[in-house]
């Protein structure tokens, strides 16, 4: 009887801890930038395969934040033309993108991993990331399932 009671107390304690750590994510809702700025949402899908590493993202070689699987960040920037780059261990064709941002516009930038790029046989060294510009309707839906990070 004492053993069963101890087990019950332990089980309730563990379940309480799990409930506290499993707080649901609030959906990320795309919103417009201030009228004199352009907004960039930069994100990575949650994925069970591939790299779980955080990787830096830059605009015109100036770091604006870091992404990991399942995260999204946003930046309000001056309108203009920017080169969007991501740190990657290997080169990939058309890996980075140039975007033209108008005042009041919202652009969705998805960082995609190319998990087998450059792999030979069973050897895989480094991680390859590619920048993709995503249609706003698709980007809005995709970021709603991700966790907002400060960058």
pLDDT, tens digit, for every residue of 94-108?
A: 899 999 999 999 999
Q: What is the CATH number of the domain that holds 107?
A: 2.60.40.1120
Q: Which residue has the tokens 């740190």?
A: 87
Number of domains present in the structure of the chain: 1
Cα–Cα distance measured from residue 43 to residue 53, given in angstroms and rounded to the nearest whole number? 13
Residue of 98 and 49 predicted with greater confidence:
98
Cα–Cα distance measured from residue 65 to residue 74, given in angstroms and rounded to the nearest whole number? 9
- Is 8 among the domain residues? no
Cα–Cα distance measured from residue 126 to residue 107, given in angstroms and rounded to the nearest whole number? 28
CB 38 within 8 A of CB 101: yes
- Is 11 among the domain residues? no
Domain containing 84: what range?
Answer: 26-148
- Is 126 among the domain residues? yes
The pLDDT score that the predictor gives to residue 53 is 83
- Is 10 among the domain residues? no
- Is 13 among the domain residues? no
- Is 6 among the domain residues? no
């Amino acid at each position: 009887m004492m053993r069963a009671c101890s087990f019950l107390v332990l089980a309730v304690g563990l379940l309480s801890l799990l409930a506290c750590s499993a707080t649901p994510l609030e959906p990320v809702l795309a919103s417009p930038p201030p009228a004199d700025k352009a907004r960039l949402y930069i994100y990575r899908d949650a994925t069970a395969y591939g790299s779980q590493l955080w990787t830096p993202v830059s605009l015109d070689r100036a770091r604006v934040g870091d992404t990991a699987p399942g995260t999204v960040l946003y930046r309000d920037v001056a309108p203009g033309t920017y080169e969007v780059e991501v740190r990657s261990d290997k080169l990939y064709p058309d890996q980075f993108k140039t975007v033209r941002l108008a005042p009041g516009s919202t652009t969705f930038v998805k960082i995609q991993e190319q998990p087998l790029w450059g792999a030979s046989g069973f050897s895989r060294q480094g991680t390859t990331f590619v920048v993709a510009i995503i249609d706003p309707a698709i980007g809005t839906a995709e970021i709603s399932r991700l966790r907002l990070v400060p960058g």
